[in-house]
């Protein structure tokens, strides 16, 4: 049985190497040799693929799209005329986000999407079609058996609603309730502060029970920025939070949740990572941006400067689905520098806030969408990643517990 192929191409570029590496090595688990020497190619006894603009009789032929030969970003790429390899590169590199018009971004400068179909993992489906084409001509080739995987991720924007805040925040919160005449919530807050009731955002034990029962990998991303309009987390020196982080890191993985403000001051990212490393006494290599603020290439370049190796921001706040067209973790290709990087991207397909607040779905509708996405990913043995905030499993969200629990089914 063969586990290696030879590919002829007239020119080897960093983009061609990148997409070959993803499709053949990463996705399919086969070794390959790329050559520009036609004699070597024609004389080889290995299974052959012709990746050039000359058609070869009796070979598997793929034309080379210009997008894979260029070294710069072109404003007028026509996605519809790209072949399988060009399309995969366009999706994975997030080419469309570099050339998108300003109206394609929201007030937080987050990409809203285009006319592409994000409802299915198009890149994964293309890879499977390429495998079928190779297998039909070379039945001796075997591809690696992909295994379905699930990762549950949680962004901790606020560890507690009422507990462990500074006296200023605590009394300010109580005063507002009196001024508004919200005496019911005032009494509720007093009970929580007196340890007579559990803080509604403290759902960590519940998450632990489910994760351990179903043996699902779990990651928590911690917001440790300085207090601002969009960063209202507990102070990073808060001892209760430090203890909580260290307790959670005994049963789950942890990563940094870079603050909203870190997008405007690159030093803040370094400071926040250092804070989490100091608290947890471990190197921090995982990240997901607060507010899903992901802008190319700046965000990922900053993560690399700070030695982050895995990022989980690749998904939409406004819609469900496959932002990069795949459910397969992949290395980021920096288009601005025309090179593959060491940063590995873990795409998520659904977020609690998207389901409830952006799409206005009922819990039952959300449950059906989660089920559809999970089945779609299972069919191609991809990685099913969801994002649920631990603070959104109570109060107005109580009915959504069944949505969260459905991801384990």
Q: Is the pLDDT of residue 292 over 70?
A: yes
User: Is 191 within 8 Å of 200 (Cβ atoms)?
Assistant: no
Q: What is the pLDDT of residues 298-339, one digit of tens each?
A: 999 999 999 999 999 999 999 999 999 999 999 999 999 999
Residue 396's pLDDT band (boundaries 50, 70, 90)?
confident
What are the CB-based long-range contacts (under 8 Å, 24+) for 191-198?
Answer: 192/161, 192/162, 192/163, 193/162, 193/163
Burial class (CB in 10 A: 0-12, 13-18, 19+), 223: buried
Per DSSP, the three-state class of 373 is helix
For residue 19, which of 11, 30, 27, 8 has the smallest C-alpha distance? 27
What Rg, from alpha-carbon coordinates, does the chain have?
Answer: 24
Residues 96-124 have a mean pLDDT of 98
Residue 11's pLDDT band (boundaries 50, 70, 90)?
very high
Residue 3's pLDDT band (boundaries 50, 70, 90)?
confident
Average pLDDT taken over every residue of the chain: 97
Angle at 22 between CA 16 and CA 26, to 5 degrees: 145
CA pair distance 358, 315, nearest whole angstrom: 14
Residues 154-162 have a mean pLDDT of 97
Cis peptide before 297 (omega within 30 of 0): yes
CA pair distance 401, 109, nearest whole angstrom: 31
User: Is 114 within 8 Å of 96 (Cβ atoms)?
Assistant: yes
Q: Is 403 left (phi over 0), alpha (psi -120 to 50) or beta?
A: alpha
Q: Which helix (H) or strand (E) holds 205?
A: helix 204-214
Burial class (CB in 10 A: 0-12, 13-18, 19+), 16: buried
Q: Which domains does the chain carry?
A: 4-137 (no CATH), 149-161+199-406 (3.20.20.370)
Following DSSP, what letter does each residue of 337-369 receive, concatenated?
TTEEEEEEE----EEHHIIIIIS---HHHHHHH
Backbone φ, ψ for residue 311 (5° rounding): -125, 140
Burial class (CB in 10 A: 0-12, 13-18, 19+), 386: buried
Per-residue confidence (pLDDT) for residue 395, from 0 to 100? 81
Q: What is the pLDDT of residues 206-248, one digit of tens each?
A: 999 999 999 999 999 999 999 999 999 999 999 999 999 999 9
Q: Which helix (H) or strand (E) holds 187?
A: helix 183-193
* Rounded-to-10 torsion of CA 191, 196, 197, 201: 80
Residues 6+ apart with CB under 8 A from 347: 314, 315, 322, 323, 324, 326, 327, 329, 383, 385
Residue 16's pLDDT band (boundaries 50, 70, 90)?
very high
Per-residue confidence (pLDDT) for residue 240, from 0 to 100? 98
Q: Is the pLDDT of residue 1 over 60?
A: no
| Residue 246: both structure tokens together | 């260290």
HSE toward the beta carbon, residue 122, CA cutoff 13 A: 19
User: Tokens 């080419």 — which residue?
Assistant: 95
- Give the whole-number percent of the chain exceeding pLDDT 90: 98
| Residue 100: both structure tokens together | 């998108």
The pTM for the full model equals 0.97
Q: Which helix (H) or strand (E) holds 51?
A: strand 48-51
Q: Is the pLDDT of residue 362 over 70?
A: yes
CA pair distance 256, 270, nearest whole angstrom: 10
Q: Which helix (H) or strand (E) holds 152?
A: strand 149-156
CA pair distance 331, 232, nearest whole angstrom: 32
Per-residue confidence (pLDDT) for residue 2, from 0 to 100? 59
């Amino acid at each position: 049985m063969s586990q290696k192929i030879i590919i002829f191409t007239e020119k080897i570029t960093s983009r061609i190497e990148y997409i070959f590496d993803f499709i053949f090595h990463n996705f399919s688990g086969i070794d390959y040799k790329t050559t520009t020497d036609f004699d070597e190619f024609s004389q080889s006894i290995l299974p052959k693929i012709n990746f050039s603009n000359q058609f070869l009789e009796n070979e598997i032929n793929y034309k080379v799209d210009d997008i894979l030969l260029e070294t710069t970003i072109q404003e007028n790429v026509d996605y519809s005329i790209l072949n399988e390899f060009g399309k995969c590169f366009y999706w994975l590199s997030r080419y469309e986000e570099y050339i998108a018009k300003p109206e394609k971004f929201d007030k937080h400068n987050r990409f809203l999407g285009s006319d592409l179909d994000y409802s299915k993992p198009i890149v994964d489906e293309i890879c499977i079609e390429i495998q079928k084409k190779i297998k039909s001509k070379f039945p001796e080739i075997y591809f690696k058996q992909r295994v379905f995987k699930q990762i549950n991720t949680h962004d901790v924007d606020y560890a507690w609603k009422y507990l462990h805040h500074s006296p200023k925040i605590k009394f300010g919160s109580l005063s507002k309730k009196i001024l508004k005449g919200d005496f019911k919530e005032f009494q509720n807050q007093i009970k929580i502060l007196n340890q007579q009731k559990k803080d509604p955002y403290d759902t960590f034990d519940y998450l632990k029970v489910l994760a351990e029962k179903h043996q699902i990998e779990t990651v928590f991303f911690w917001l440790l920025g300085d207090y601002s309009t969009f960063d209202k987390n507990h102070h990073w020196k808060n001892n209760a939070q430090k203890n909580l982080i260290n307790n959670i890191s005994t049963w789950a993985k942890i990563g940094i949740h870079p603050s909203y403000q870190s997008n405007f001051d690159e030093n803040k990212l370094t400071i926040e990572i250092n804070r989490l490393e100091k608290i947890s006494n471990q190197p921090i290599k995982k990240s997901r941006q607060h507010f899903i603020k992901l802008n190319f290439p700046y965000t990922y370049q900053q993560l690399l400067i700070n030695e982050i190796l895995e990022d989980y921001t690749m998904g939409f706040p406004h819609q469900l689905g496959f932002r990069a067209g795949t459910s397969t973790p992949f290395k980021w290709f920096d288009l601005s520098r025309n090179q593959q990087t060491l940063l590995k991207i873990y795409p998520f397909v659904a977020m609690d806030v998207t389901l409830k607040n952006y799409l206005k779905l009922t819990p039952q509708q959300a449950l059906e969408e989660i089920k559809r996405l999970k089945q779609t990913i299972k069919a191609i043995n991809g990685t099913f990643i969801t994002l649920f905030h631990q603070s959104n499993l109570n109060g107005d969200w109580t009915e959504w517990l069944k949505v969260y629990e459905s991801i384990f089914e």
